[in-house]
Amino acid sequence: MTVTLLKATQGHVRGIARVYVDAWRATYAGLLPPKTLVGMDYDRQSVEWAYQIRHKALHAPILVAYDDKSGVVGVTSFGRSRIEDRPARPPFTQVGITLGSGEVFTLYVHPDHQNRGIGAALIGGAFETLRERGLNQAYVWVLHDNPARYFYERMGGRFIATRRERLWGSDVAQAAYGWPDLAKTLALPGLVRSARLG
Ligand SMILES: CC(C)(COP(=O)(O)OP(=O)(O)OC[C@H]1O[C@@H](n2cnc3c(N)ncnc32)[C@H](O)[C@@H]1OP(=O)(O)O)[C@@H](O)C(=O)NCCC(=O)NCCS
């Protein structure tokens, strides 16, 4: 069984939608309102991801992890930091994240395929692509109570800050993790994985 990282195309949107909806429901039960999770569906997410790939892929390619038996099993989107979060101020600057940083917007591995090294491969692919585009720093916002924050710590991310925001009809706490030197992170053995997995 082989999992390969690919640049997402329109042919992947249904698989991405399945990963996204199933991962949200498995991860965010108890963290986000049930109405938000029940209201999600594959068709709407397919339309959303088709739009993302069509309109944003040039600036921030979306990567999928593709399993030769199961199809799309993971997805990540990333790019230059979003304007509203642009972190050229403390506490981001205190860990070395400055203007011109990259940001990981989404990272989801299907619940049936977690703990196979796919998340590490996807974040490695995102970091490599950001580097190719001249961005050597990155950060991510994650729900404070999501165990995925410890995955980011395992990937070498440094805790930066917390914030509260009104999202999906709920007041949620988030935590930010940052990588001030992606070249260094990518060079660390056994951390982020190579793009091709066996
Ligand atoms: C978080 C997520 C992306 C990790 O992907 P994954 O494919 O399951 O993780 P990997 O198998 O690549 O794990 C790589 C390493 O991180 C560790 N790890 C994975 N998840 C972890 C967690 N929640 N806490 C601590 N360590 C974790 C693994 O044990 C592994 O360690 P090792 O190198 O010592 O073997 C995945 O679990 C996921 O999609 N979760 C649900 C969605 C989500 O919360 N996404 C983030 C939204 S911001």
pLDDT digits (tens, 9 = 90+) for 99-116: 789 999 999 999 999 999
| Beta-carbon contacts of residue 110 (< 8 Å; ≥ 6 apart) | 18, 19, 22, 23, 70, 72, 73, 74
Ligand 1 centre from 125 Cα, in Å? 15
- Mean pLDDT estimate for the chain: 91
Indicate whether 174 pLDDT > 50.
yes
Ligand 1 centre from 148 Cα, in Å? 6
Number of domains in the chain: 1
Ligand 1 centre from 27 Cα, in Å? 12
Residue 139: closest CA among 179, 183, 111: 179
Cβ atoms within 10 Å of 2's Cβ, excluding its own: 10
What kind and span of H or E run contains 150? helix 148-154
pLDDT of residue 65: 96
Indicate whether 184 pLDDT > 70.
yes
Nearest CA to ligand 1 atom 18: 151
Give dist(CA 53, CA 55) in Å, integer: 6
Nearest CA to ligand 1 atom 48: 142
Indicate whether 59 pLDDT > 80.
no
Ligand 1 centre from 67 Cα, in Å? 17
Report the relative pairing of strands 196-197 and 138-143 from DSSP bridges: unpaired
**What's the domain range around 17?**
3-197
In degrees, to the nearest 5, what angle opens at C-alpha 27 toward C-alphas 165 and 107? 75
Ligand 1 centre from 114 Cα, in Å? 7
Instruction: List Cα–Cα distances, 129 to 68, 104, 114, 182, in angstroms.
Output: 23, 11, 22, 10
pLDDT of residue 198: 41
Ligand 1 centre from 167 Cα, in Å? 23
Mutate to test the pocket of ligand 1, among 24, 73, 115 (most ligand atoms within 8 A of CB): 115
Q: What is the pTM of this model?
A: 0.94
Indicate whether 37 pLDDT > 60.
yes
CATH label of the domain that carries residue 102 = 3.40.630.30
Which amino acids bring their CB within 6 angstroms of ligand 1? 23, 27, 107-109, 114-120, 142, 146-148, 150-151, 154
Q: Which atom of ligand 1 is nearest to the CA of 110?
A: 39
How does pLDDT run across 73-92, given as a tens digit for each residue? 999 999 998 755 565 678 98
